[in-house]
Structure 1
Amino acid sequence: MSTSRAARLKPVIEMAEKAERDAARQLGAVQTQLLQAEGKLGDLQRYCADYQNQMVAQGQQGVSGQWLMNYQRFLSQLDTAIAQQQRNVDWHRGNADKVRTTWQERYARLEGLRKLVERYLYEARMAEDRREQRQLDELAARLTARKNEST
């Protein structure tokens, strides 16, 4: 009886496995997007630091007011780009957290179903063992009864 219960769960487990695989695949894609966004942010931050170092070097040689205004304008644009990319990274991080939670839920559901099937199979084995033991006990009792009748 328990074996049939386990067999009836097979399509459910297959669907749960597919859902878990899909969630894992989506998590991988989202994590890749997050890494790319973090890479772009790092590139922008390094570029900004390099640009500031160049300004310091140029400033030691003397600069015009126009050059300084252009520098400040460009630095402001870089700061805006960095802030925008930071928001992008934060969004990707939040999205990755949501997708990870979904994957964890699907994985936990799958594992729960697998444990249920294992329990059903264990119960079926135990019931079969008890049935076999009863048959052996009955056979032994009949043999003992026959032996006693013969003597």
Structure 2
Amino acid sequence: MSTSHKSLKTLQDLAHTRVDEATKHLGELIASKQASEVKLAMLQQYRTEYRDRFMQTARSGIEPNAWRNYSAFLIKLDEAIAAQQMSVDHSHKATEHGQQKWVSEHTRAKAFDTLSLRQEQHEQLRQNKREQIQSDEHSSNKFRKQQEEGGS
């Protein structure tokens, strides 16, 4: 194996390692994004249910203190939902970046694979030519010996 082939193999291995790392990282980002979205959906559902309970209680009459408590809690839920929405947005951006990173690493690895394949094909072609030359020389030497033996 030539030095250039060893160097290319090292680069190819490194590129595949980076693809594996990018794949793992992307999987983690996707899982995090999904968990973040589930948490947001749960908060939104809880807020809807809590608001519905508040409205039902308000229809049948509610004391001012209970009204303030319901209102304050709904405000806290809205703040939590807004914070979670920011987390979801951040997760989406991080996942998109992770996908771009994976595509970039995958493309780089494919390029090294292509270079390696071309180098192997080129080496095989050179080997085939060497073998053909050796075969031709062997045939030529054999024919010359036959001529020399037959002519003497």
TM-score, normalising length: structure 1:
0.84
Inter-partner Cα distance in structure 2 for 1:25 and 1:98: 14
Using the TM superposition, name which of 83-92 and 69-78 deviates more.
69-78
Alpha-carbon offset, residue 146 of structure 1? 3.6
The match for 1:75 is 74
Instruction: Write the distance in 2 (CA, Å) between the matches of 1:145 and 1:59.
Output: 114
Structure 2: 5+ residue runs without aligned partners?
A: none
Matched, 1:100 2:105: no
**CA–CA distance in structure 2, aligned partners of residues 120 and 6 of structure 1:** 8
Matched, 1:14 2:16: no
Equivalent residue for 2:83?
84
The CA distance in 1 between the partners of 2:55 and 2:143, in whole Å, is 105
Which residue pairs with 2:133 in the alignment? 134
3-12 vs 39-48, which moves further = 3-12
- Write the distance in 2 (CA, Å) between the matches of 1:118 and 1:9: 11
CA distance in structure 1 between the aligned counterparts of 2:128 and 2:74, rounded to whole angstroms: 79
Deviations along 1:44-78, whole A, 9 cap, x unmatched? 01101111221233234332344334323322221
Percentage of matched positions with identical amino acids:
26
Compute the displacement of 1:115 (Å). 1.6
Match of 1:122 in 2: 121
In structure 1, list runs of 5 or more residues that go unmatched.
Answer: none
CA distance, structure 2, for counterparts of residue 49 and residue 27 of structure 1? 33
Q: Which residue of 1 aligns with 2:63?
A: 64
Residue 37 of structure 2: aligned partner: 38
Q: CA deviation at 1:85?
A: 0.7
- Which structure has more relative contact order (CA 8 Å, sep 6+)? It is 1
Count of aligned pairs between the two proteins = 149
